[in-house]
Amino acid sequence: MTAVSTAVTAVVLDMDGVLIDSEQLWDEVREELARECGGRWHERAQADMMGMSSTEWSRYMHDVIEVAAPPEEINAEVVRRLLARYRESLPLMPGAVEAVERLAARWPLGLASSSNREVIDAVLELAGIARYFRATVSSEEVERGKPAPEVYFEAARRLEFDPTNCAAVEDSANGIRSARAAGMRVLAIPNPHYPPSEGVLALADVVLHSLDELTPDLVSAS
């Protein structure tokens, strides 16, 4: 494991489960589509797909859930339905905008998300926080999604900082593993709907209860 530097020069946030309360919405939309199309939905499906890139989860929906449509059509329909919900009511996490503003006042911000590019752009615009992010990365833009570290490596590259000098804010098991594998300082805010195990939370440098606790002093603490 790469040693994590204590000199934080940039912060990279996850989006789903950190800035928006959306993991269960992804679950609902994908399950809805699977059942409409005669797929074989199962109770592990959401956990299996959490952190996957759009290419990976749409392939999973086709191969494992047995939705007959091609993966690219599955992807497009899920995103269409999800964005319709967001435009009706964006499920921002309490304190999300304020947390972004606090961190952006001190560091360049990046975003490393498993959401599709169009979903990332729509959420940041709808929330009014797009201007605070110097770099945003979708896992569909790298070879492998979380828990692989590529999305965090790419965010650090676009920010022009060494990943070991970045802090990451994550909520899920695969996200925590991804940020840790990239060598970042990891601050975890466990997802209440799909909480990481104690063993995974032990990989984080700090475990918080909410975004209200996410302060610059805590991010930069050794």
User: Which residues are designated catalytic?
Assistant: 14, 16
Q: How far apart are CA 133 and CA 109, in angstroms?
A: 5
Query: In terms of Cα–Cα distance, which of 127, 95, 133, 94 is closest to 111?
Result: 133
What are the angstrom distances between the C-alpha of 99 and each of 60, 210, 222? Answer: 34, 10, 20
Q: How far apart are CA 87 and CA 1, in angstroms?
A: 41
Query: In terms of Cα–Cα distance, which of 127, 129, 122, 51 is closest to 84?
Result: 122
- 3-state SS, one letter per residue, for 74-98: HHHHHHHHHHHHHHHCCCECCCHHH
Neighbours of 173 (CB within 10 A): 24
H-helix or E-strand spanning residue 11: strand 10-13
Which amino acid is residue 33, in one-letter code?
A: L
H-helix or E-strand spanning residue 170: strand 166-170
Q: How far apart are CA 197 and CA 77, in angstroms?
A: 32
